[in-house]
A = this chain, B = another copy of it.
Amino acid sequence: MIRLHNDYNRGACAKILEKLAETNAESYDGYGEDTWCEKAADLIRKKCNAPEAAVHFFPGATQANFIVHAAALSPIQSVICPDSGHVYAHEAGSIENTGHKLVPLPSADGTITAEQICKAVKSYYEAGEPNYLCEPKMVYISFPTEWGTLYSEQDLKDIRKVCDEYGMYLFVDGARLGYGLGSVKNDVTLEKLAELTDVFYIGGTKCGALFGEALVITNAGLARKFRTYMKQNGAVLAKGWLLGLQFCALLEDDTYEKMTAQADAYAMEIKAAFKEKGIPEFVDSYTNQQFVIVTDEQAEQLAKEYTFEQERTLEDGRKVVRFCTSWATTEAEKDQLIGDIRAL
């Protein structure tokens, strides 16, 4: 069985396992105050061309998401996001649990536009003061989105402009950031993300690490006492060097970028195979997640050799399914799938 149902079903890239073994007997300072975290943070600041950025390492993405909200917002402030946003749809009300309202904007492909955001914010300011609505204070988007789609540099600039106009933070969930950066259609860089957002993260868990996400905060106001927010919410790992070490392994020789770009490239071949076969796409994704519409028969046939995720059932009974390559997908696995698509 070839497992393509998600991008987190295998351990970590070899370099990480090696580094763990090498350093296992070393003694380090706890809670991320170690040399690996320091080195990884420096590396990230350099790649982002953001020498002043605060960098923090999280065990997982849900933590990164809700702790940024908890630290950034006062009780009366809300967040604008796509209705497909991970924080709105998949994390068991984690943001509301911190006391904040999410304002979901309709999105067919996982992205929202500067214009949509602007309209939503305006309705708040038009209500005047005293205002009995929540103050929109942050925009949350994912790059790439939950549907595998991307924002262009221009899209981000437009959203940034709205955020500046209305005093809002821009937060980019980068749980799959590598697959966004590696896409053939992408024109965004780490430098641009650092420049255009207030805070974003570089996803490790889905991009070759055992676990871990690297949060980059470029807005100094947001960075204040951030580690205390992390501790309060259980996101400061006692053996913090495990995270720093992994990000060093991933980022040192562009391993991260190379692994995710390869997964994207394989996904493009799979995308083409579906297209050739006349199997329609549900969204036009150029990253490692491919969403296609299959008949029950096709799904059954593919399920013999591959795991994939079923997203929803269309009114005509066909299924939207996701095939997901990852840093761990091999050329042989990809080739076999393409062969089997052609043979459907």
Using a CB–CB distance below 8 Å, which chain A residues touch chain B? Answer: 3, 6, 8-12, 14, 17, 20-21, 23-31, 33, 59-63, 65-67, 70-71, 74-76, 78, 90-94, 96-102, 129-135, 205-206, 210-211, 225, 227-229, 231-239, 242, 328
Please list 29 pairs of residues, one from A and one from B, whose beta carbons are closer than 8 Å in the complex, sorted by A's number: A6-B30, A8-B30, A9-B28, A10-B26, A10-B28, A17-B20, A20-B20, A31-B130, A61-B238, A62-B233, A63-B234, A75-B93, A76-B228, A90-B132, A91-B232, A92-B131, A92-B229, A93-B101, A94-B233, A96-B101, A96-B134, A99-B99, A130-B227, A130-B231, A130-B236, A132-B227, A135-B225, A205-B238, A205-B239
Are B225 and A76 closer than 8 Å at their CB atoms? yes
Closest to A56 in B: B130
User: What is the minimal beta-carbon distance from A206 to any residue of chain B, in angstroms?
Assistant: 7
Chain B residues with CB under 8 Å of A102's CB are: 96
Complex alpha-carbon distance, A33 and B133, angstroms: 17
- A134 interface neighbour in B24, B61, B92, Cβ under 8 Å: B92
Instruction: Name the 5 nearest CB pairs between A and B, nearest first.
Output: A63-B234, A130-B227, A11-B24, A62-B234, A92-B232
Closest to A206 in B: B238
Complex alpha-carbon distance, A91 and B31, angstroms: 12
Are B130 and A62 closer than 8 Å at their CB atoms? no
Number of copies of chain A assembled together = 4
Chain B residues with CB under 8 Å of A28's CB are: 9-10
- A76 interface neighbour in B20, B98, B132, B229, Cβ under 8 Å: B229
Are A21 and B17 closer than 8 Å at their CB atoms? yes
Most buried by B among A10, A26, A130: A130
Complex alpha-carbon distance, A134 and B87, angstroms: 12
Chain B residues with CB under 8 Å of A24's CB are: 10-12, 14, 17
Complex alpha-carbon distance, A211 and B238, angstroms: 8
Interface of A is mostly: loop
Complex alpha-carbon distance, A21 and B233, angstroms: 30
Are B234 and A66 closer than 8 Å at their CB atoms? yes
Closest to A232 in B: B92
User: What is the minimal beta-carbon distance from A168 to any residue of chain B, in angstroms?
Assistant: 15
Closest to A134 in B: B93
Are B231 and A92 closer than 8 Å at their CB atoms? yes
User: What is the minimal beta-carbon distance from A312 to any residue of chain B, in angstroms?
Assistant: 10
Are A10 and B30 closer than 8 Å at their CB atoms? no
Most buried by B among A33, A67, A98: A98
Most buried by B among A61, A74, A75, A235: A75
Complex alpha-carbon distance, A91 and B230, angstroms: 10
Are A232 and B76 closer than 8 Å at their CB atoms? yes
Closest to A29 in B: B9
Chain B residues with CB under 8 Å of A99's CB are: 93, 96-99
